[in-house]
Structure 1
């Protein structure tokens, strides 16, 4: 199964038999069989009629709309493929089990820090000239891991340690990029430099993958165990992608290190750094290669969580 990226002006998508037909300025450019698709990502003003939406829904193909140049989520469409309500009931009960939540949250933070450490170690091997700042960050992460592994914390102190680890990690990670990119720290909204623009786009796509995996495994994306519930936020999806973020960070570093992306692929629009169409094409290609094992991992974690939730404290009242 594959993801279809639609990122072109004057593009219209129509349903023709069992395939999506792509038209640019009224001229037919090609077709994509529906049975090959798992997800469709639409960036910008692509036209679709109701028959296309119906066909995607019927075949359980997830659909993501991004807001053009800003590449932020405008809408997501899913047709859940798992209908066992007991999984969500178990998930709800587990949310009110403090011990269960803490155990899962602590494991999540440790997994994220492990992957951050791994990237920094790989960076030290590639950039001996940056060994000092990279090694200092690794030492900080090691100290945090020792504290987390030796005792159990409430959720809020755990978030504090995770925040401290991320601050040390990004301080070192930023040294991997040339000063001309002006990447000094993680800036989310709006991203003000090329690196942050790529990180934001990648995290957005990862979030979409995680929501899709939650629904496919019968879980409620809005109810997490580490991120607190918040209006309109898929907190469980936010939980699931935390350990994967450093893997995406490596993809971004590689894109710039191998010069697949450079400053010429970006423009500034009212203080927001925007990745251009040619750059997005390169980014999506590299992301898709990276995402194949990530999707399998997310689906596996969803099934593991569902099993955990079903075995958690059914005799405990809400």
Structure 2
């Protein structure tokens, strides 16, 4: 059966290059792709089939269709994974909507810091972070699974976890806006409670004994013509625009969240006496040619290929250099 289910769009965001939405189906919340309905906005109703919003409908039609679908539990379960819950009274539904709106509000830096400090987290550069020391990789993986479970449907859009044999580092941020919201604060408290229940201590690494505190790394590039050099760095690093920003001078971020963000500092005059930036971008051996081609097409130039395929030296139009490196050509 080809079954489309109407739901209300709670929020929209970008994920791996796709325009996505969080949709409420009468109490069940799921993600849906808006590729076919890019005009859909928060508060609109869309009909979703196999994860895609295929059309928009008005609220009256959505309510009428949901009422019919509540009697088709098996068919709905095949689409959403569970039957629709009983109809929620209008007053309760409005209260839920108000709570959702409050939870999605961006909080100030001070509010975020004060809200999570006693729970072992710190506000760092637009995100909440904590670290949990463990004895084995299996323990770290178990903690990560617990954190994802207590975050529920919000985990995919808010939570990032770096799992190592000696620790798990947790980062919370509303990915569609690159900011901290009230929901992130609530999720931080849930994660801390889950870790404590398992006998682990979330802490930011302040004081003696810790290898370092939680931190987020950025790289700044001084430039006279930011709009001129930014495409080169976007291409050579394989980066994308930061969520919630647009424009020729905005920061760049790693789409898979592994590398540091890049931001550009405006210079008022050339200062050749200052230290110049250099980055090494290590890529798979069969990615190097494509990455170099993209960098050259974005306004870069090839400075040297003498040591290729170990590394190629490239530069943007102002001479800031980057090396694309691989494992090849390094064994004598």
Do the two structures share a fold, i.e. TM-score over 0.5? no
Larger Rg: 2
- TM band (smaller chain): under 0.3
Tell me which of the two structures has the higher relative contact order, counting C-alpha pairs closer than 8 angstroms and 6 or more residues apart. Answer: 1
Bigger share in strand: 2
Bigger share in helix: 1
TM-score by length of 2: 0.20
